[in-house]
Amino acid sequence: MRKIPNNGNLRMTKVAYPLGLLVCLFIYVAYIKWHWASATQAFLSITETASGAQRGQQAHSPQGMAARGHEVFYGIMFDAGSTGTRVHIFQFSQQPGEVPTLTHETFKARKPGLSAYADDVEKSTPGIQELLNVAKRDVPYELWKVTPLVLKATAGLRLLPGEKAQKLLQNVKEVFKASPFLVGDDCVSIMNGTDEGVSAWITVNFLTGSLRTPGKGSVGMLDLGGGSTQITFLPRLQGTLQTSPPGYLTSLQMFNRTYKLYSYSYLGLGLMSARLAVLGGEEGKPAEGGEELVSPCLSPGFEGEWEHAKITYRISGQKAAGSLYQLCASRVSEILRNKVHRTEEVKGVDFYAFSYYYDLAVNAGFIDVEKGGSLVVGDFEIAAKYVCRTAETQPLRSPFLCLDLTYVSSLLQELGFPGDKVLKLARKINNVETSWALGATFHYIDSLSRRRSPAP
């Protein structure tokens, strides 16, 4: 028997198919429209951030981070020191209206320092490129164009003849310009000593919380590098402000506050430069005719070689009667005479000491190499006397230890620190390196922000 078709079902099918197609088409169009709007918004957000940063704004985070109430941004700082070049990649997080928080740091060092390439600047390029590659791996790709890249050179380049230093800096600037990061006209420079001290002061006071906590007392900073040494603190006494020599006071604007700091850098009084001066050598010049440098600060009978700033010197101890410590202290006193300003206020300020202060305290057994610690200024003198007395009768594991400890002890006393003054020594605070690089990065980004939003 022939089956009679069901006309009702047929009519429903004819209606359902077109209706289903319309629904599917509507969903597809809605999806395309939503996807295009989202993509456009994301693109505009990134390009707006990039173009804003090119006009001097700080880097902004991706939109997803901003949606959670804070933004993430980066800063790259090259520290071109006298003994090596170091790159610091800092990651910051900031809640609206608050002081930024450091959330991560990547650090890598490379030797020798830029000044070692003064006679062949092109040879410095591979090392700079190697450190740039570290930054590329650490900073998210979408933030490269809005992440400021800066190199600041310290005493090593300050001690070079001007023309050689400028050629080195120009070469670095060309390498930076070819990178994908945010590079301004001031991306490469030689820091003056005051800037170095101020930047280190920002670092330690940020890490100890005094820059973020109103009313919390600040701490002072002592840094002993290879070519220079710095002292920086925030004076509270009018006497300090009134009696400080010209060039010893500087103003710092940071996080919408202004600080009047006592800060000075003594070029040529860093530990390596002081060694050379005590030995009787001259910075940047080989000994005349390869002559041996003789010093009362080395063990009698000691003979050897010492390399400083790519120059090798022949050195030996002085065969003389008398206390090695007294002879060395007398020689160091000649080097420091009338070169250091003493201020009484340092007696009442808490100080952190870094770099070679730290290393010498470790070598003398006063602090743990990893954890750091505290000592009193007089400990350096006690150690110097002991080490120098030992050196009179037997070779030292480090021929310069008597000289170095004697120099540091004398330097601190000349700066006004009494023997019972406590110093804190640290390489890290809250697991963050205590170099000037963090403070300089903060200051640079803060200045970019002020240029973007000038005060009314």
How is the chain split into domains, by residue range? 69-191, 192-285+335-433
Residue 227 assigned as binding residue: yes
Q: CATH number of 192-285+335-433: 2.40.10.220, 3.30.420.150, 3.40.50.2300, 3.10.580.10?
A: 3.30.420.150
At 24 the pLDDT is 55
Task: Give residue 49's pLDDT.
Answer: 38
Q: Is 229 annotated as a binding residue?
A: yes
How far, CA to CA in Å, does 221 sit from each of 105, 146, 218, 232, 436? 21, 32, 10, 5, 10
Q: What is the pLDDT of residue 23?
A: 52
Give me the numbers of helices (H) and strands (E) for the chain, helices first please. 13, 17
Peptide bond into 112 cis (omega under 30): yes
Q: Are 83 and 224 in contact (CB under 8 A)?
A: no
303 assigned to active site = no
Tell me, what's the pLDDT at 97? Answer: 77
What is the model's pLDDT at position 253?
86
The residue among 29, 452, 446, 455 whose CA lies nearest residue 198 is 446
Query: Known binder of ligand: residue 390?
Result: no
Beta bridge pairs of residue 190: 153
Amino acid at 354: F
Nearest to 341 by CA among 269, 448, 394: 269
Looking at residue 43, what is its pLDDT?
A: 29
List the chain residues with pLDDT less than 70: 1-69, 155, 214-215, 450-456
Q: What is the pLDDT of residue 41?
A: 35
Greatest distance between any 2 Cα atoms in the chain: 136
Residue 99: its pLDDT value, please?
A: 80
- Tokens of residue 374, six digits: 């505290």
Residues 6+ apart with CB under 8 A from 205: 211, 218, 219
Architecture of domain 69-191: 2-Layer Sandwich (3.30)
Mean pLDDT of the chain: 83
230 in a known ligand binding site: yes
From 71, 196, 414, 433, the catalytic residue: 196
Cross-strand pairs, 22: none
The DSSP result for 160-197, as a single string, is S-HHHHHHHHHHHHHHHHTSSSB--TTSEEEPPHHHHH
Which pLDDT score, from 0 to 100, does residue 57 have? 32
